[in-house]
Amino acid sequence: MGRNTGKIIRGYWDCPFCGRKGIDGLLDKCPGCGTGKRDDTRYYMKSSSDLVSGEELEAAGIGKDENDGLHKEWVCPFCGQLNNWKDQVCVSCGAPKESAEELYGDAAIRKAERAAKEAQDLGGQALESKHKKKPTFLLIAAAVMLLLILINVPLLHETETVTAFAWEREVTVEALETVQESDWSLPERADLIRKASEIHHYDQVLDHYETRYETRSRQVPDGYDTTVTYEDNGNGTFREVEHKTPRYRTEYYEEAVQIPIYRDEPVYRTRYYYYIDKWIPKEHYPTSGTDQEPYWSSAYRLRDNERDTLREEEYSVILTGKKESRVSMDYGTWSKVQLGDQYRTTKSITGIVYKREAPEGAEEAA
């Protein structure tokens, strides 16, 4: 909140009827056409040095204590005349002041509000018009999405012929060996060698605090900045108001901070060292071919404590259409396929396979 400096500055107004500009705010009628101030009259300043004397205020029937913005001129509700605060009846039509419901500036405010509403309505219409163009954009977007969908929709049918076979088998020979291992628990069928208390992990434990100094900042008062504004009294004058805003500066200082220091606290558990028998892969014996007579390799001899139960296999056919494809199958399906069998394949434009229909008597390929 500001402080009044006591300076009263002259206001001016323009006559809307004859167009005369810069009429002294203390005059109630236009010197050009004699028309009185109307309800939408607004005062303005020309210069902050254009002061009004006490004599001029007295001649206009305005007391010095009325220049506080609380003693505004009042608007006659019947003829729209703007009257001085002390006028008990309208100077134009004689209506009593008690009938007034508006003070200086109210009509202008209403006019500004109407203008703002009209601008808002016009803006809303423009926005609505802009939104009406959206369907065109939406149609384009929908068309693009439809195109993307169609690209991956099954559209193409192709016949693929079985032109070759391929198979791979592998036998892994494992040996049962006694190995030495260690763990935090002892497995079944293990022969314990020894056990020991060892570090399993570390926990963070608070050890102590250290004092460190950190630079901090704070805002401290550093005087005031003074600004001046001019406020409309609503009676043809303006008052000068002085505002003081506190000014601050940044001050830096060192602050002691307690920093917690942690140490690694070892946590011990029992670790077991032991012998245990395990099957260890030793040799691999692969076989492959392009016929339909797969076999397992026999190029090895099992020794004591060895086995060949770990076996892997893969079977596939080569399908030839516009392109060549390799398709994996389980052995039961693969063994029934014959050279020259044809599959009806459904693909998208991008080549994604959706379905392969097997010939009669055969199963569908993956």
Write phi, then psi, for 147 (nearest 5 degrees): -65, -45
Rounded mean pLDDT of 303-318? 96
pLDDT higher than 70, residue 359: no
Evaluated on CA atoms 18, 23, 28, 31, the torsion sign reads negative
Residue percentage of the chain with pLDDT more than 90? 74
Q: What is the pLDDT of residue 117?
A: 85
pLDDT range class, residue 154, cuts 50, 70, 90: low
User: Both tokens of residue 168?
Assistant: 């791979």
Q: Is the separation of the CB atoms in 8 and 238 below 8 Å? A: yes
The DSSP annotation for 32-80 comes to TT-PBPBTT---B-S-TT-BPPHHHHHHTT--GGGTTTTS--EE-TTT-
Query: DSSP code of 236?
Result: S
Q: Quickly list H helices, the chain.
A: 54-59, 106-132, 134-151, 331-334
Q: What is the pLDDT of residue 132?
A: 53
Distance of CA 62 to the CA centre of its chain: 59
Distance between CA atoms of residues 316 and 58, nearest Å? 113
What does the buried/exposed string (b/e) look like for 147-185 if buried means 16 or more CB atoms within 10 Å of the residue's CB? eeeeeeeeeeeeebebeebbbebbbbbbbeeeeeeeeee
Q: Measuring CA to CA, which residue among 328, 341, 207 is closest to residue 262? A: 207
Q: What is the pLDDT of residue 152?
A: 55
pLDDT higher than 90, residue 293: yes
pLDDT higher than 70, residue 231: yes
Write phi, then psi, for 119 (nearest 5 degrees): -65, -40
What does the buried/exposed string (b/e) look like for 16-47 if buried means 16 or more CB atoms within 10 Å of the residue's CB? eeeeeeebbbbebebeeeeebbbbbbebeeee
pLDDT tens digits for range 24-48: 999 999 999 999 999 999 999 999 9
Q: Is the separation of the CB atoms in 60 and 236 below 8 Å? A: yes
305: region left, alpha or beta (phi > 0 left; psi from -120 to 50 alpha): left
Distance between CA atoms of residues 344 and 342, nearest Å? 7
pLDDT higher than 60, residue 150: no
Write phi, then psi, for 331 (nearest 5 degrees): -60, -40
pLDDT tens digits for range 103-115: 998 877 787 788 7
The DSSP annotation for 288-319 comes to EESSS-----------TTEEEEEEEEEEEEEE
pLDDT higher than 90, residue 360: no
Distance between CA atoms of residues 154 and 148, nearest Å? 13
3-state secondary structure of 121: helix
Rounded mean pLDDT of 335-362? 80
